[in-house]
Amino acid sequence: MKTHSIITTELTSEEKRRMRGVFRARILVFLLLILPLAGGLGFIVYQAVMSFVDGRPDIFSYAVPLAFAGLCFGAARYIYPYYRNLAGYAGAERKEIVEATVESISRRSFRAGVVLFTLKTEHGVIDTGVDVVIFPDLGFGDMREGMKIVIHRVPGMRNELLRISAKGK
C-alpha cells in the first residue's frame, strides 16, 4: 500500500457556512419528517404486537414487526450515519486534506436514471450510494483511473466528505 500524507488545516468560512446550512436542514428534516414518521410507525408496530396479547394475531401481526426491523436495518446504513455527524458539524474548526490517486472507478446504473459510482484509491473506497460529498468540485463521471485527486474531510465524520477536487485545482 502506498503512503499518503494527511495535511490538517482550518476550514474556510464558506465550508463552515455550508456545514451550518446542512446542520439546519437535517434538523428540520428530522423534526418535520423523520420524527412524525417514526411515531406513526411505532404506533402501528405497537398495535401489531398488541394483537398477540389480545389473542387475535393475523398476517399483519407478523409482517409489520418484520418490516419495521428491516426498515431499522436500512436506516442504520443510509440515515443514522448522517445524523451521527451532526455533533461534528456544530464544532468543526479543522479539516484534513488527503492527496490520492484513483486506482479504479466503477459505475452502476439503475432503472430510474440514478447512476452510482464506486471510487477506489490508496486511501480507501468512496461509494456514492453511501458517501456524500458536500462540495462537488469534481464530478465522479469526470474522474479517470490514474488521476490525482485531493480529498477534504472533517476528522471523525464517516460517510461524508467536504470536497473532492482534481490535484492542482
Instruction: Provide the residue-wise pLDDT of the chain in tens; the chain has 169 residues.
Output: 455 578 888 988 888 888 888 888 889 999 999 899 999 999 999 999 898 888 888 888 889 999 999 999 988 888 888 787 777 776 788 898 889 888 988 888 876 777 888 889 888 888 888 888 888 888 888 888 888 998 888 887 878 888 888 886 5
Rounded distance between C-alpha atoms, residue 64 and residue 52, angstroms: 12
Question: Among residues 123, 120, 118, 117, which one has the least CA distance to residue 98?
Answer: 123
**What would the pLDDT profile of 30-56 be if each residue is shown by its tens digit?**
999 989 999 999 999 999 989 888 888
* Phi, psi angles (nearest 5°) of residue 132: -115, 135
Pairing of strands 94-109, 115-121: antiparallel
Torsion of CA 51, 53, 55, 57, to 10 degrees: 30
Query: How many CA atoms within 13 Å lie on the side-chain side of 5?
Result: 3
pTM, rounded to two decimals: 0.73
